[in-house]
Amino acid sequence: MHERSVTIFPSITPAATTSIITGAYPAEHGIAGASWYDQEREEVAYYGDDFWVIAREGFGHFVRDFLLRLNGDRLLAPTLFEMIERAGRSAACLNYLVFRGIYPHHADIPKLITALPGVPFSETIEGPSVLCLGDFVSAHHGRGRAPEAEGGPFRRFGMDDVSSGELLCELMARGPIPDFTVAYFADNDYRSHTVGPVKALPVVEGVDRMLGQAFDAGGGLSKVLAETVVIVTSDHGHCDVLDVDTAEVRLDRLLSGFRQAKLGVGWRARDEIMICPNMRAAQIYLREPAPSLAQRVIDAMLIDPRVDQVMWRSALTRPGEEGYTVATARGVLEFSRDATSGTAGIDAFSNAWTWHGDPDTLSVQQDGRSIGFGEYPNAFERIAGALDLEKAGELWVTARPGCEFEAPGGDAHIGGASHGALHALDSFCPVIIAGGGQRWHLPAHLRSIDIAPLCMEILGIPMRYRPGDPRRPNV
């Protein structure tokens, strides 16, 4: 087990699960978080579980976006399902949100959803040869599981742990399972949002029992591990959001001096900024990204002590400048991949950086040529992996531990937990690997983007990256 594998930034489900299944940062795979502005289409992409946003935009639009766009033209990098089956091997997806493959599947929309205006009755989607997507694509359409109150709209339709466990058991019992099989258990995330990660541990115990049942169905743990490599991981961590009085950071109020686009809608004539919340992080888009406007927005956000960092490409405030700038109440730090003036060094994944400014901004720790990070693991590479995406906001902002950004009409996860930011609490993920007839030794430093090349390496299929490779997502 590796206890401190590092996820991407933003450490939020749509982007993070995409990074696991593609081995790429957002700058390469194109999924900018849970919400972002798609300038080409002049619309906001939204993949959160806040029903109020979904209802306002229309459930039909949301269903089409999830089934056809998130796994279609919004996704710019190939998935493991595509790469593995193009290499002549087989693949299966059980309830994983990013499922694009090379085989067409007919998706039926559950009757409860089709009763809503604008929702299609069916769609054709592309996935791996074996695709089970709740009651949308499954051998168990209409199994009649009772709708549950928590967890977003799709959890009501077979997108829950019990369904994933049952599907995995059936697949193992039929055997042999496809060469590459992904089963997604999302309930721990939903429950942690409500009660916090410690009180949500019974959900993890439930997953453990379901995996035990699946291994039994496959002939027992010893047989399964002799024939199969099993990897267990998560897509992000969780940070407690506990203080009722101070945890909610209302960015719309903090930026009330600027004309704001209506949340979830495109630009209007006189708008200056657009806020796209991503729980403990947010993207701020500038209608006309001039240095003076950017600096005023930056200054307005840093007034609030609950704001941790504001990040941007340096050229936003200093035209022609390369690299990235991070501002906090602790100081300002600039870093770049180019050999500019400043302290030069190499991070744990062999990326070369130069930087100058206040190291406390990102808890930078440099010993000789070696660059490390304390509370903000692998910060340089993760920030670049988000800001280098053209459709990302001009500014990214994160909240201090214990705090979360709240948008009008939605609720922060007070008394529970949240994620999305750079902090270690949002960022560390366990990785457990076993089986394949060998004893595994994971490297000292590991990232969620290393899972895909690790799987490809185990299968003996070439990939553009190897585990641990440095990343320059914009190259």
- DSSP category for residue 394: S
Residues 18/30/51/426 CA torsion (nearest 10 deg): 60
Q: CA 286 → CA 281, 283, 322, 327, distances in Å?
A: 17, 10, 20, 18
Pairing label, strands 91-94, 130-132: parallel
Distance CA 465, CA 475 (A): 13
Distance CA 81, CA 342 (A): 42
Per-residue model confidence as pLDDT tens digits over 79-133? 999 999 999 999 999 999 999 999 999 877 665 555 555 555 557 889 999 999 8
Pairing label, strands 91-94, 180-183: parallel
Is residue 68 classed as helix, strand or coil in its secondary structure?
helix
Pairing label, strands 273-278, 281-286: antiparallel
- Which domains, from first to last, does the chain contain? 2-237+431-459 (3.40.720.10), 248-418 (no CATH)
Closest CA to 91 of 81, 83, 101, 100: 81
As given in the structure block, the two tokens for residue 459 are 């299968």
- The sign one gets for the Cα dihedral 195, 408, 267, 58 is positive
User: pLDDT truncated to tens, each residue of the chain (475 aa)?
Assistant: 999 999 999 999 999 999 999 999 999 999 999 889 988 888 888 777 654 445 455 556 666 777 778 898 899 999 999 999 999 999 999 999 999 999 999 877 665 555 555 555 557 889 999 999 887 776 544 344 444 445 455 544 677 899 999 999 999 999 899 999 999 999 999 899 999 999 999 999 999 999 999 999 999 999 999 999 999 999 999 999 988 788 999 999 999 999 999 877 789 999 999 999 999 999 999 999 999 999 999 999 999 999 999 999 999 999 999 999 999 999 999 999 976 667 899 999 999 999 999 999 999 999 999 999 999 999 999 999 999 999 999 999 999 999 999 876 567 888 999 999 999 999 999 999 999 988 999 999 999 999 999 999 999 999 999 999 998 755 4
Distance CA 343, CA 356 (A): 6
As given in the structure block, the two tokens for residue 366 are 């440099």
- DSSP category for residue 177: P
Distance CA 296, CA 57 (A): 31
